[in-house]
């Protein structure tokens, strides 16, 4: 997608230096645009854990490059145990997003197909690139399928603006390109459909007000930032036509883990009979988990709740919001049960959030991995 008119992806190999991976450091966006270089597994681990990169598909792709760097380290230190150890370490960086574990295991499987380190290196790099490219392609497809929902609403409204509410950042910054929840929005914009996006700020890290707002601004999509608690009120007053969110892990019964607060949006949408769709590429689906109740929910440092970060006098600063002594809890995700979800938008099409419908789209996964 575009930043100041120039096309970027969120991760790439540095030109002329195959040992360096470059990412957009998302921590200080929208105020500072910084490209960071990752040169070791430790760098990759920190970038994922401390959320320089975030969003399920992007942390998967970043970990895939991390596995490539682990092969370089194994070669340099003449110790192949580094590869398995790195896989374990990278998977532990963030527990909820399925894409992370999926990408690391994919890499391990490919790397282990040969004993030749040079060949391992070649395979790991080419597979990391493949994972990234395929992820971007999946998001593009999600856009093509998802836009039909927006088109239909626009038709019913006789071409009046379609108001879409989104939570967190399930945009291109969370992916490699296009985004998941945002892909249908960008596709609708291309088709000239009138759209407007309500952007939930998404406390405590403000992925909505910092990242989604910034990327929509860059792509010139009309949008308005709202506080997390405003969604229900907007829905009651007919100001939301569609809720579109992403997910970090979807179990094969259709339960969806996504950024904390998603569940409340789904409840409000159900109560107001507003369609609630979840956009996801298939690596986000957990083919071994039957129910969202088993999804590990990440708990992050409580300081993220107690403090806010923002721009003051040209500098990014951190300010305390609560009494210093107050205890805070920081659950990063919640689970929206399938019964509250109108449908899932995948790279293979739109389906109901239930086992039977998911099975119809991805029958091979059930034969291979669940039986």
Q: Which residues bind ligand MRU (CB under 6 A)?
A: 54-57, 168, 170, 174-175, 180, 207, 246-248, 258-259, 332
Half-sphere exposure of 16 toward its Cβ, with a 13 Å CA cutoff?
0
Q: How far is the CB of 41 from ligand MRU (least distance, A)?
A: 20
Q: How far is the CB of 192 from ligand MRU (least distance, A)?
A: 25
* Residue whose CB is nearest to ligand MRU in the complex, by number: 246
- Cβ closest to ligand MRU, residue 120 vs residue 223: 223
Q: How far is the CB of 298 from ligand MRU (least distance, A)?
A: 8
Q: Residues 293, 359: contact at Cβ < 8 Å?
A: no
Q: Residues 175, 57: contact at Cβ < 8 Å?
A: yes
- Cβ closest to ligand MRU, residue 258 vs residue 336: 258
DSSP letters, 80-128, are THHHHHHHHHHHTT-SS-HHHHHHHHHHHHHHTT-S-HHHHHHHHHHHH
Which residues are CB-contacts of 318 (< 8 A; sequence separation ≥ 6)? 307, 308, 309
Three-state secondary structure call for residue 7: strand
Query: How many angstroms separate the CA atoms of 8 and 25, rounded?
Result: 13
Q: How far is the CB of 167 from ligand MRU (least distance, A)?
A: 7
Reading the block at residue 110, the tokens are 């490919």
Q: Residues 289, 248: contact at Cβ < 8 Å?
A: no
Q: How far is the CB of 208 from ligand MRU (least distance, A)?
A: 10
Q: Which residues are catalytic?
A: 248
- Cβ closest to ligand MRU, residue 25 vs residue 248: 248
Please count the other Cβ atoms lying within 10 Å of the Cβ belonging to residue 258.
28
Q: How far is the CB of 81 from ligand MRU (least distance, A)?
A: 30
- Cβ closest to ligand MRU, residue 55 vs residue 254: 55
Q: Judge if the upstream peptide bond of residue 178 is cis by omega within 30 degrees of 0.
A: no
Which residues are CB-contacts of 128 (< 8 A; sequence separation ≥ 6)? 61, 64, 65, 67, 68, 107
Dihedral pair phi/psi, residue 71, rounded to 5° = -70, -40
- Cβ closest to ligand MRU, residue 126 vs residue 229: 229
- Cβ closest to ligand MRU, residue 170 vs residue 351: 170
């Amino acid at each position: 997608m575009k930043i100041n008119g120039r096309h970027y992806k969120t991760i790439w190999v540095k030109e002329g230096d195959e040992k360096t991976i470059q990412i957009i450091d998302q921590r200080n966006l929208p105020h500072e645009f910084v490209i960071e270089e990752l040169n070791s597994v430790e760098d990759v681990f920190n970038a994922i854990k401390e959320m320089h990169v975030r969003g399920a598909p992007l942390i998967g792709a970043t970990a895939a490059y991390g596995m490539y760097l682990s092969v370089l380290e194994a070669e340099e230190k003449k110790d192949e145990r580094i590869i398995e150890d790195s896989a374990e370490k990278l998977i532990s960086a963030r527990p909820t997003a399925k894409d992370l574990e999926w990408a690391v295991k994919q890499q391990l499987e490919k790397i282990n197909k040969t004993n030749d380190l040079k060949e391992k290196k070649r395979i790991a790099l080419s597979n990391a690139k493949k994972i990234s490219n395929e992820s971007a392609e999946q998001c593009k497809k999600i856009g093509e399928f998802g836009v039909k929902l927006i088109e239909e609403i626009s038709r019913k409204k006789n071409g009046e603006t379609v108001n879409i509410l989104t939570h967190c950042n399930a945009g291109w910054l969370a992916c490699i390109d296009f985004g998941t929840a945002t892909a249908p929005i960008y596709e609708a914009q291309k088709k000239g459909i009138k759209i407007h996006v309500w952007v939930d700020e998404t406390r405590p890290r403000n992925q909505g007000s910092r990242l989604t707002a910034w990327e929509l601004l860059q792509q010139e999509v009309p949008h308005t930032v709202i506080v997390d608690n405003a969604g229900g009120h907007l829905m009651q007053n007919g100001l939301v036509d569609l809720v579109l969110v992403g997910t970090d892990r979807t179990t094969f019964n259709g339960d969806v883990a996504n950024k904390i607060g998603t569940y409340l949006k789904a409840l409000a949408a159900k109560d107001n009979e507003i369609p609630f769709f979840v956009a996801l590429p298939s690596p986000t689906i957990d083919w071994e988990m039957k129910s969202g109740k088993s999804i590990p929910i990440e708990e992050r440092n409580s300081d993220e709740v107690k403090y806010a970060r923002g721009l003051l006098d040209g500098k990014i600063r951190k300010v305390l919001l609560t009494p210093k002594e107050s205890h805070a809890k920081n659950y990063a995700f919640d689970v929206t049960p399938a019964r509250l979800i109108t449908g899932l938008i995948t790279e293979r099409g739109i389906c109901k959030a239930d086992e039977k419908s998911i099975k119809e789209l991805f029958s091979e996964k059930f034969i291979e991995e669940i039986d």
